[in-house]
Structure 1
Amino acid sequence: MALGQRPDYARIARHVINIDELFIDYARVFLPSHDRQAWDNVVRIAGGITEKNTPRNLQGRDSYVVALEQYLSTTRLHDTILDGLRTAVRYDKTYFDKIVASLLPLLEKLTTRKISQLLAPDYGDLNDPRPVFNWQQAIRQRAIIYVGLDALSDAEIAAAVGNSMFADLVSVAGHIYKHGVMDGLPQTEENPAINLHCDEFSELMGDEFIPLINKGGGAGVEVTAYTQTLSDIEARIGDRAKADQVVGNFNSRIMMRVRESATVELLTKQLPQVDVLSNSISSGVTDSADAQGNISFSSNTQDRMSSIQVPLLEPASLVQLPKGQAFALLEGGQLWKATHPITGRSTRSADAGKHHTHSPLYGKTVRQHAHMVGPPGDSCNGEK
Structure 2
Amino acid sequence: MAQPHSIEVLLRPAVELYTVAVCAIAALLCLVAPWSLALSPSLGVGSALTFLAFGAIRLRDALAILRYRRNIRRLPRYVMTSRGVPVSQQRLFIGRGFRWEQRHTHRLMQTYRPEFRRYVEPPPLHRLARRLEEQLEFAPSPLPTLARLTAWDSPLNPTRPLPPVGGMPRLHGIEPHETDVTLPLGERVGHSLVLGTTRVGKTRLAELFITQDIRRKNAAGEHEVVIVFDPKGDADLLKRMYVEAKRAGREGEFYIFHLGWPDISARYNAVGRFGRISEVASRIAGQLSGEGDSAAFREFAWRFVNIIARALVELGQRPDYLLIQRHVINIDALFMEYAAHFFSRTDPKAWDVIVQLEATLNDKNMPRNMIGREKRVVAIEQYLSQVRVYDPVLDGLRSAVRYDRTYFDKIVASLLPLLEKLTTGKTAQLLAPNYSDLDDPRPIFDWMQIIRKRAVVYVGLDALSDAEVAAAVGNSMFSDLVSVAGHIYKFGVDDGLPGASADTKVPINVHADEFNELLGDEFVPMVNKGGGAGLQITAYTQTLSDIEARIGNRAKAGQIVGNFNNLFMLRVRETSTAELLTQQLPKVEVYTTALMSGATDSSDPHGKTDFTSNTLDRISTSSVPLIEPAHVVGLPKGQCFALIEGGNLWKIRMPLPAPDPDEAMPRDLQEMAATMRRHSIEAGDWWNNQALPGLQDAPLPDDLIDGFRHLVGTATSPATAGPHHG
TM-score range, shorter chain: 0.7 to 0.9
For the residue of structure 2 that corresponds to 1:166, the secondary structure is: helix
8 Å CA contact 1:201–1:225 kept in 2: the answer is yes
Distance (whole Å) between structure 2 residues aligned to residue 231 and residue 271 of structure 1 = 21
Match of 1:123 in 2: 435
**CA displacement 1:33-83 (0-9 Å, x = unmatched):** 444444443333223222211111110001122122222323443333222
Match of 2:3 in 1: none
Q: How does 1:228-247 map to 2 (within 5 A)?
A: 228-247=542-561
Match of 1:65 in 2: 377
Cα deviation for residue 299 of structure 1 reads: 3.4
Match of 1:280 in 2: 594
The amino acid across from 1:237 in the alignment is I
8 Å CA contact 2:641–2:651 kept in 1: the answer is yes
For the residue of structure 2 that corresponds to 1:68, the secondary structure is: helix
- The reply to whether residue 93 of structure 1 matches residue 405 of structure 2 is yes
8 Å CA contact 1:151–1:203 kept in 2: the answer is no
Distance (whole Å) between structure 1 residues aligned to residue 356 and residue 531 of structure 2 = 57
Match of 2:329 in 1: 17
Distance (whole Å) between structure 2 residues aligned to residue 6 and residue 230 of structure 1 = 39
**CA displacement 1:142-174 (0-9 Å, x = unmatched):** 100111001111011111211111111111000
For the residue of structure 2 that corresponds to 1:29, the secondary structure is: helix
The amino acid across from 1:134 in the alignment is D
Distance (whole Å) between structure 2 residues aligned to residue 307 and residue 30 of structure 1 = 84
- The reply to whether residue 192 of structure 1 matches residue 506 of structure 2 is yes
Cα deviation for residue 32 of structure 1 reads: 4.5
The amino acid across from 2:375 in the alignment is S
5+ residue gaps, structure 2: 1-312, 661-726
For the residue of structure 2 that corresponds to 1:210, the secondary structure is: helix
Match of 1:308 in 2: 622
For the residue of structure 2 that corresponds to 1:223, the secondary structure is: strand
Distance (whole Å) between structure 1 residues aligned to residue 324 and residue 500 of structure 2 = 38
Match of 1:256 in 2: 570
The alpha-carbon distance between structure 1 residues 141 and 359, as it changes in their structure 2 partners (threshold 3 A), is closer
Match of 1:145 in 2: 457
2:537 to 211, 218, 223: 223
Q: How does 1:1-384 map to 2 (within 5 A)?
A: 1-188=313-500, 190-343=504-657
Cα deviation for residue 27 of structure 1 reads: 2.0
Distance (whole Å) between structure 2 residues aligned to residue 238 and residue 80 of structure 1 = 37
For the residue of structure 1 that corresponds to 2:366, the secondary structure is: coil
**CA displacement 1:302-361 (0-9 Å, x = unmatched):** 433222211111111122222222222111111122223444xxxxxxxxxxxxxx669x
**CA displacement 1:78-131 (0-9 Å, x = unmatched):** 333222222221221112222333333332332233211111122111212222
8 Å CA contact 1:32–1:39 kept in 2: the answer is no
Distance (whole Å) between structure 2 residues aligned to residue 30 and residue 322 of structure 1 = 68
Relative to total residues, which structure has the larger helix share, 1 or 2?
Answer: 2
Cα deviation for residue 266 of structure 1 reads: 1.4
Cα deviation for residue 246 of structure 1 reads: 1.0
For the residue of structure 2 that corresponds to 1:145, the secondary structure is: strand
For the residue of structure 1 that corresponds to 2:617, the secondary structure is: strand
The amino acid across from 1:117 in the alignment is Q
Distance (whole Å) between structure 2 residues aligned to residue 280 and residue 16 of structure 1 = 79
Moved more, 269-278 or 100-109: 100-109
5+ residue gaps, structure 1: 344-357, 361-384
Distance (whole Å) between structure 1 residues aligned to residue 601 and residue 425 of structure 2 = 97
Number of aligned positions between the proteins: 346
Distance (whole Å) between structure 1 residues aligned to residue 472 and residue 529 of structure 2 = 22
Distance (whole Å) between structure 2 residues aligned to residue 136 and residue 337 of structure 1 = 38
Distance (whole Å) between structure 2 residues aligned to residue 51 and residue 78 of structure 1 = 29
The amino acid across from 2:621 in the alignment is S
For the residue of structure 1 that corresponds to 2:458, the secondary structure is: coil
Cα deviation for residue 188 of structure 1 reads: 4.6
For the residue of structure 1 that corresponds to 2:445, the secondary structure is: coil
8 Å CA contact 1:192–1:220 kept in 2: the answer is yes
Percent of counterpart pairs with the same letter?
Answer: 65
Moved more, 97-106 or 257-266: 97-106
Distance (whole Å) between structure 2 residues aligned to residue 312 and residue 81 of structure 1 = 63
Distance (whole Å) between structure 2 residues aligned to residue 76 and residue 270 of structure 1 = 65
**CA displacement 1:265-312 (0-9 Å, x = unmatched):** 211111111111222232322233333344443334443322221111
For the residue of structure 1 that corresponds to 2:408, the secondary structure is: helix
For the residue of structure 2 that corresponds to 1:70, the secondary structure is: helix
The amino acid across from 2:555 in the alignment is A
Distance (whole Å) between structure 2 residues aligned to residue 235 and residue 44 of structure 1 = 59
Cα deviation for residue 7 of structure 1 reads: 0.7
Match of 2:157 in 1: none
For the residue of structure 2 that corresponds to 1:147, the secondary structure is: strand
Distance (whole Å) between structure 2 residues aligned to residue 218 and residue 39 of structure 1 = 52
8 Å CA contact 2:599–2:612 kept in 1: the answer is yes
The amino acid across from 2:369 in the alignment is N
With CA pairs under 8 Å and 6+ residues apart, which has the higher RCO, 1 or 2? 2
For the residue of structure 2 that corresponds to 1:224, the secondary structure is: strand
- The TM-score, its normalising length taken from structure 2, stands at 0.46
Distance (whole Å) between structure 2 residues aligned to residue 80 and residue 278 of structure 1 = 79
8 Å CA contact 2:548–2:557 kept in 1: the answer is yes
Moved more, 2-11 or 86-95: 86-95
8 Å CA contact 2:433–2:444 kept in 1: the answer is no
The amino acid across from 2:317 in the alignment is Q
The alpha-carbon distance between structure 1 residues 239 and 40, as it changes in their structure 2 partners (threshold 3 A), is farther
For the residue of structure 1 that corresponds to 2:339, the secondary structure is: helix
Distance (whole Å) between structure 1 residues aligned to residue 343 and residue 549 of structure 2 = 48
For the residue of structure 1 that corresponds to 2:585, the secondary structure is: coil
8 Å CA contact 2:509–2:535 kept in 1: the answer is yes
The amino acid across from 1:322 in the alignment is P
Distance (whole Å) between structure 1 residues aligned to residue 619 and residue 452 of structure 2 = 63
